[in-house]
């Protein structure tokens, strides 16, 4: 399945791209957003990160057909500062993050991301790393499995599912997506199974996020990126579920909104803010995009800009 970039035009517009600017796409994927940035910076440069080497290999010719002023980086975007320092890059004019898993990753049965295909439990975006979903399912102690399902999957039946996993793996290792599917189905009461949506969705999401350290990476990259922005530089982030959106919203608010204080306690001087929110409410997909791309239903776009501090 072709990957369709969500909120493509809205996020590119939000970046307010300068022809000679330095831009970073933290989530290259199949190059949809990067292509649009590259078209707009004939005198600038694009740096794009991705953990998935296949994404880099597929995106390179697409970008080369536009221009050659780009650099692709096979690394997690939490290594933002480390990699840009290595390349002698200073401040940047714009940063884009399009979070989550791309359609080609979900639709490749061998990658083990989806409960729709029978495959080895993998879920690694970076195929060179050791930790995969099978290792988590088969080696994590009970409390750690509960943490993963509750924190990253917000799974209300985490206790039932974890108990079922522990029972199953005591007999033999749980190695495939369909094996895990069956364990989850058998663990859940009939009333839950009758509800809309796949019963394994939240567990699979939680395992994927743990394998790829998605939320710790996001927190780290947001802080590094915000510090790296030039004056009038912008960051635009597209999220796909509430956990990501909450982290982005809080990170932006911490920089762009005054801290809440007790009005009865005097403060010395007015707080000077270096950032401003581009949009207070998230930008959502249009009706036209929703009809074309089902993945866009949960997408939210937020942006922030570094501003001049008044004396």
Q: Please give the mean pLDDT across all residues of the chain.
A: 92
In the structure, what pLDDT confidence band is assigned to residue 105 with cuts at 50, 70 and 90? low
pLDDT over threshold 90, residue 270:
no
48-80 burial by CB neighbour count: b if 16+ within 10 A, else e? bbbbbeebbebbeeebeebeeebebbbebbbbb
Q: What is the pLDDT of residue 302?
A: 98
CATH of domain 8-104+214-306: 3.40.50.150
- Side by side, the strands of the sheet bearing 45-50 are 70-74, 45-50, 22-25, 92-98, 229-239, 300-306, 275-277
DSSP type of residue 260: P
pLDDT over threshold 70, residue 102:
no
In the structure, what pLDDT confidence band is assigned to residue 263 with cuts at 50, 70 and 90? low
Instruction: Give the chain's end-to-end CA distance (angstroms, integer).
Output: 53
Percent of the chain with pLDDT over 70: 93
Burial class (CB in 10 A: 0-12, 13-18, 19+), 173: middle
Query: What does the longest C-alpha to C-alpha distance in the chain come to?
Result: 68
**This prediction's pTM:** 0.90
Q: What is the pLDDT of residue 269?
A: 52
| Average confidence (pLDDT) over 155-173 | 98
* Same topology between domain 8-104+214-306 and domain 127-211: no
Q: What is the pLDDT of residue 233?
A: 98
Percent of the chain with pLDDT over 90: 77
Residue ranges of the domains in the chain? 8-104+214-306, 127-211
Structure tokens given for 78 = 């939490």
Using CA atoms, how far apart are residues 77 and 45, in angstroms rounded to an integer? Answer: 17
127-211 is classed CATH 3.90.1150.10? no
Instruction: Please tell me the least confidently modeled range out of 94-98, 112-116, 228-232, 276-280.
Output: 112-116
Structure tokens given for 283 = 């930008």
Q: What is the pLDDT of residue 1?
A: 42
pLDDT in tens, 168-192: 999 999 999 999 999 999 999 999 9
pLDDT in tens, 187-239: 999 999 998 889 999 999 999 999 999 999 999 999 999 999 999 999 999 99
pLDDT in tens, 277-295: 999 999 999 998 888 887 7
| Average confidence (pLDDT) over 41-64 | 95
Using CA atoms, how far apart are residues 304 and 311, in angstroms rounded to an integer? Answer: 21
pLDDT in tens, 36-50: 999 999 999 999 999
């Amino acid at each position: 399945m072709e990957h369709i970039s969500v909120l493509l035009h809205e996020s590119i517009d939000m970046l307010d791209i300068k022809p000679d600017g330095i831009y970073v796409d933290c989530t290259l994927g199949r190059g949809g957003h990067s292509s649009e940035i590259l078209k707009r910076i004939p005198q600038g440069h694009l740096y794009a990160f991705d953990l998935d080497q296949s994404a880099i290999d597929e995106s390179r010719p697409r970008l080369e057909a536009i221009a050659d002023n780009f650099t692709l980086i096979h690394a997690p975007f939490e290594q933002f500062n480390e990699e840009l320092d290595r390349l002698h890059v200073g401040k940047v004019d714009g940063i884009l993050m399009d979070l989550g898993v791309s359609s080609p990753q979900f639709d490749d049965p061998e990658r083990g991301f989806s409960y729709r295909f029978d495959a080895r439990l993998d879920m690694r975006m970076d195929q060179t790393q050791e930790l995969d979903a099978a290792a988590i399912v088969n080696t994590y102690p009970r409390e750690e499995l509960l943490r993963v399902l509750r924190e990253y999957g917000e799974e209300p039946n985490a206790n039932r599912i974890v108990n079922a996993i522990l029972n199953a793996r005591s007999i033999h290792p749980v190695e495939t997506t369909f094996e895990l599917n069956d364990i989850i189905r058998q663990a859940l009461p009939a009333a839950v199974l009758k509800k809309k949506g796949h019963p394994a969705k939240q567990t699979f999401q939680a395992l994927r996020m743990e394998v790829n350290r998605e939320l710790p990476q996001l927190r780290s990259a947001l802080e590094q990126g915000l510090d790296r922005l030039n004056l009038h530089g912008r960051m635009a982030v597209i999220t796909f579920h509430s956990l990501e959106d909450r982290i982005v919203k809080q990170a932006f608010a911490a920089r762009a909104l005054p801290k809440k204080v007790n009005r009865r306690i005097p403060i010395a001087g007015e707080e000077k803010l270096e950032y401003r929110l581009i949009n207070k409410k998230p930008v959502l997909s249009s009706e036209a995009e929703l009809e074309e791309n089902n993945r866009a239903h949960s997408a939210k776009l937020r942006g922030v800009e570094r501003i001049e501090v008044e004396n």
